[in-house]
């Protein structure tokens, strides 16, 4: 975690915090009032992406309607409302939503991000969905919510 002052918010992107047994107690020892945000993704999509990466909180909502997901983050963190839909216009030339900058321009995702994945056979997806199904049910029960993971 980056060093911060009490009035600051630290953001770090470390998926290993979620899977390493030692991480939660160490994080809790830093600050008993810490608030964590986990970006969850369809585990089948994540497994395929991870596999292809080695040879993209639902993160899909963050990409398609970022202001909605960022509003949830603001509320969770207890910070003032800032993000609005008009800050994320759809830029036709890019075929995606970008961030409107104060200078009047746009900041879009790096072209290397969101790479196109090759098609995965439906039978492979079905095997992965069956494998992850009991874990997804446990997660949904724990969070008292569901995600639209087919």
Helix ranges restricted to H, the chain: 16-19, 23-30, 43-54, 59-64, 66-77, 122-143
For 26, the token pair is 């160490």
- Quote the pLDDT of residue 85: 92
CB 23 within 8 A of CB 17: yes
pLDDT digit of tens for each residue in the chain (150 aa)? 667 787 877 777 766 677 778 888 888 888 888 887 777 888 887 777 766 555 544 556 777 888 888 888 788 777 788 889 988 988 888 888 888 887 878 888 765 555 555 677 888 888 888 999 999 999 899 889 888 887
Q: Interior CA angle at 95 toward 64 and 129, to 5°?
A: 45
**Count of CA atoms in the C-beta half-sphere (13 A) of 80:** 1
């Amino acid at each position: 975690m980056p060093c911060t002052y009490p009035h600051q918010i630290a953001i770090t992107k470390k998926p290993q915090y979620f899977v390493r047994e030692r991480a939660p107690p160490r994080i809790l020892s830093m600050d008993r009032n810490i608030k964590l945000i986990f970006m969850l993704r369809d585990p089948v999509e994540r497994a395929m992406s991870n596999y292809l990466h080695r040879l993209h909180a639902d993160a899909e909502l963050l990409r398609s309607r970022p202001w909605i997901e960022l509003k949830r983050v603001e509320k969770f963190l207890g910070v003032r409302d800032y993000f609005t839909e008009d800050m994320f216009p759809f830029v036709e030339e890019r075929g995606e939503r970008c961030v409107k900058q104060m200078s009047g321009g746009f900041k879009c995702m790096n072209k290397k991000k969101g790479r196109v994945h090759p098609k995965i056979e439906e039978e492979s997806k079905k095997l992965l969905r069956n494998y992850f199904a009991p874990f997804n049910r446990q997660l949904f029960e724990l969070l008292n919510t569901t995600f639209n993971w087919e």
